[in-house]
Amino acid sequence: MRQLSISGAWVHEPKVFPDSRGSFHEWFKGPDFAEAAGHGLQLAQANYSISSRGTLRGIHFADVPPSQAKYVKCVRGAVLDVIVDIRVGSPTYKQWEAVRLDDVDHHSVYLSEGLGHAFMALTDDATVVYLCSEGYAPGREHGINPLDPELGIEWPEGIAPLLSDKDAAAPTLAEAEEQGLLPTHEACQAYYAELRARD
């Protein structure tokens, strides 16, 4: 588990063992995860999505607490996975980091509660699985437009983004902040401390 530039986000870079039959790797290890995050991964829901090339999902987040932490892996094809710090008051507020997830290197990312998440499919039939700490709850789920120019996320050139109507109509980060939708850094830190105290 390698810490990313945004606190509360890590990338897991497993060793892959190829042979004449195929390959093997461990895409999640509880002890390594707990050492990095400071607590175990509570699993409440597992999601599976298949996306055509150019599909852009996100930026999604949920109210804190309990929000929804995610452990994300691409099992077929490739995606550009993006984590956005939307925690008002965070030292890295408005910053983002992109990680390529694919079926070659088999990296995974973990993003803590309160962070925004989006990804773009770089291939057809890009298949993503993610483990979630909480189940989907429509009343506390929100979105930010992934093409918000203020965020300036560098999506791959030459690929036309395909957004759902809901994601296309999502507010900008500034609008979401004005509407009081964003989590605060203080509330997130308090919740992380609560998670560590449980273990």
Q: Is 130 tagged catalytic? A: yes
Select from 129, 138, 120, 133 the least CA-distant residue to 54.
120
Q: Which of 39, 60, 107, 185 is catalytic?
A: 60
Dihedral sign for Cα 5, 82, 76, 130, please. Answer: positive
Provide the token pair at 130: 């993610």
Residue with tokens 């300036």: 152
Residue type, position 143, single letter:
G
Q: Which of 71, 130, 191, 192 is catalytic?
A: 130
Q: Which residues of 89-119 are buried (b: 16+ CB within 10 A; e: fewer)?
A: ebebbbebbbbebbeeebbbbbbbbbbbbbb
Backbone angles phi, psi at 83, to 5 degrees: -110, 130
Q: Is 107 tagged catalytic? A: no
Select from 90, 118, 97 the least CA-distant residue to 11.
97
| Beta-carbon contacts of residue 59 (< 8 Å; ≥ 6 apart) | 82, 84, 86, 116, 117, 118, 143, 144, 145, 146, 170
Active site residues: 60, 130
